[in-house]
């Protein structure tokens, strides 16, 4: 298949891409979180094409993207709590799980009778959905199991030749996927996946937030995660990632032990000067700026993937506060939960 690459500034191109979506094609587009791979959420066959292009397991549901809150009732049964969340956080990087209406096929929801709804704030994403005039089912536009895509070149690497259009909108602003919540009571939320909106921000607005177990640790083979996607080894580069948990200085010394191992790289922060000047270290951001780390993490993991010689990646277990919770979650998943206590 020939994949057309267009700029987000090409309005005619966006209109054509929207028509491609409406007619059942696949279009990768920028959002404020990561790049998404969109399909018409009302067409079962279009949804199936997403699973085929990504190699995604068919029980891993797709998030449905809309352009405005007014459209939410058309695809699901929304409650007051949703609209209160929307006042503070929507449009933006928040996905809310709600009971689906019949118009959304089970092919989109992986057989579930609920649907995840997100309204992106990214202008291009929002415009594309508006032009398409249909809800857009869109997971992240990476091959299943690979780190998510935060620039158009990542999408080209994973999906060129498999989808109709890639819209280039530069680097994703946040760089990590949306926060996913389910509503469990008037003010009660369960966090299924941490992301751009932090539990602290939700609490500030008067919501109680329970963190789902699957966010923090590996579930046993008998436990089913509330977000089916959380059970898959996600966000992972080809090399084995190992995380060290313990006193900062001890962890730093441990990481230095790998400085001359050809097949190993170390992830560190700008501030870790002894580590960041090593030839085999990758800076993932600043210790005082989690947003910067979120923004760079997937891109660094993808850069590491490009070097076949790298067999091991070592890093400190990050602090799970604020956006740090999302970074912690993505790293423990990238590591396949391989965390060594020092």
Interface residues with Mg ion (CB under 5 A)?
140
Give the residue nearest to Mg ion (CB).
140
Q: Which among ligand AMP, Mg ion, none contacts residue 120 (Cβ within 5 to 8 A by kind)?
A: none
- Nearest approach, Cβ of 54 to Mg ion (angstroms)? 8
Candidates 6-14, 110-118, 271-279, 301-309; binding stretch for ligand AMP (CB under 6 A): 110-118
115 binds ligand AMP (CB under 6 A): yes
Binding mask 274-313 for ligand AMP (x = CB under 6 A): ----------------------------------------
CA 330 to centroid of chain Cα atoms: 9
60 binds ligand AMP (CB under 6 A): yes
Q: Residues 169 to 188: which contact ligand AMP by CB under 6 A?
A: 177, 180
63 binds ligand AMP (CB under 6 A): yes
Report phi then psi at 27, rounded to 5. Answer: -135, 125
- Measured from the CB atom, the residue of 76 and 255 that comes closer to ligand AMP is 76
- Nearest approach, Cβ of 229 to Mg ion (angstroms)? 7
- Measured from the CB atom, the residue of 169 and 229 that comes closer to ligand AMP is 229
**What SS3 string covers the chain?**
CCCEEEECCCHHHHHHHHHHHHCCCCEEECCCCCCEEEEECCCHHHHHHHHHHHCCCCCCCCEEECCCHHHHHHHECCCHHHHHHHHHHCCCCEEEEEEECCCCCHHHHCCCCEEEEECCCCHHHHHHHHHHCCCEECCECCCCCCCCCCCHHHHHHHHCCCCCEEEECCCCCCCCCCEEEEEEECCEEEEEECCCCCHHHHHHCCCEEEECHHHHCCCCCCCCCCCHHHHCCCCCCCCEEEEEECCHHHHHHHHHCCCCCCCEEEEEECCCHHHHCCCCEEEEEECCEHHHHHHHHHHHHHHHHCCCCCCEEEEECCCCCCCHHHHHHHHHHHCCCCEEEC
149 binds ligand AMP (CB under 6 A): no
Q: Which among ligand AMP, Mg ion, none contacts residue 312 (Cβ within 5 to 8 A by kind)?
A: none
> Helix axis angle, 324-334 relative to 290-305, nearest 10°?
20
Q: Of residues 230, 241, 275, 317, which one binds ligand AMP by CB under 6 A? A: 230
Q: Of residues 69, 112, 156, 157, which one binds ligand AMP by CB under 6 A? A: 112
139 binds ligand AMP (CB under 6 A): yes
122 binds ligand AMP (CB under 6 A): no
- Nearest approach, Cβ of 41 to ligand AMP (angstroms)? 11
Q: Tell me the torsion sign for CA atoms 12, 18, 23, 29.
A: positive
| 251 touches 240 (CB < 8 A) | no
Q: Which among ligand AMP, Mg ion, none contacts residue 115 (Cβ within 5 to 8 A by kind)?
A: ligand AMP
- Measured from the CB atom, the residue of 117 and 267 that comes closer to ligand AMP is 117
6 binds ligand AMP (CB under 6 A): no
- Nearest approach, Cβ of 256 to ligand AMP (angstroms)? 35
For 84, the token pair is: 């209160």
- Nearest approach, Cβ of 59 to ligand AMP (angstroms)? 9
Q: Which residues bind ligand AMP (CB under 6 A)?
A: 60-61, 63, 97, 109, 112, 114-116, 139-140, 177, 180, 192-193, 226-230
């Amino acid at each position: 298949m020939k994949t057309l690459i267009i700029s987000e500034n090409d309005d005619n191109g966006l209109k054509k891409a929207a028509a491609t979506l409406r007619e059942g094609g696949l279009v990768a587009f920028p959002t404020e979180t990561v790049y998404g791979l969109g399909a018409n959420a009302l067409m079962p066959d279009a949804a199936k094409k997403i699973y085929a292009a990504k190699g995604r397991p068919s029980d891993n549901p797709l998030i449905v993207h809309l352009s405005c809150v007014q459209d939410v009732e058309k695809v699901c049964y929304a409650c007051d709590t949703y609209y209160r969340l929307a006042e503070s956080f929507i449009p933006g990087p928040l996905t809310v799980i709600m009971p689906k209406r019949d118009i959304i096929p089970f092919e989109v929801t992986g057989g579930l009778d609920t649907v995840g709804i997100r309204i992106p704030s990214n202008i291009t994403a929002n415009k594309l959905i508006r032009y398409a005039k249909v809800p857009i089912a869109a997971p992240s536009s990476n091959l299943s199991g690979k780190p998510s895509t935060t620039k158009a070149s990542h999408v080209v690497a994973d999906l060129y030749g498999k989808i109709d259009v890639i819209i280039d909108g530069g680097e994703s602003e946040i760089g990590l996927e949306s926060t996913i919540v389910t509503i469990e009571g008037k003010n009660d939320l369960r966090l299924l996946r941490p992301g751009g909106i932090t539990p602290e921000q939700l609490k500030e607005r008067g919501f109680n937030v329970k963190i789902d177990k699957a966010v923090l640790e590996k579930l046993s083979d008998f436990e089913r995660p509330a977000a089916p996607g959380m059970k898959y080894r996600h966000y992972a580069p080809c090399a084995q990632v190992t995380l060290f948990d313990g006193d900062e200085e001890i962890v730093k010394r441990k990481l230095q032990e790998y400085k001359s191992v050809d097949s190993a790289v170390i992830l560190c922060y700008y501030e870790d000067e002894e580590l960041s000047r090593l030839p085999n270290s990758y800076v993932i951001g600043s210790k005082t700026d989690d947003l910067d780390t979120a923004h760079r993490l997937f891109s660094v993991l993808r850069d590491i993937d490009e070097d076949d010689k790298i067999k091991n990646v070592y890093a400190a277990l990050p602090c799970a506060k604020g956006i740090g919770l999302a970074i912690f979650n993505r790293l423990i998943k990238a590591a396949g939960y391989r965390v060594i206590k020092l």
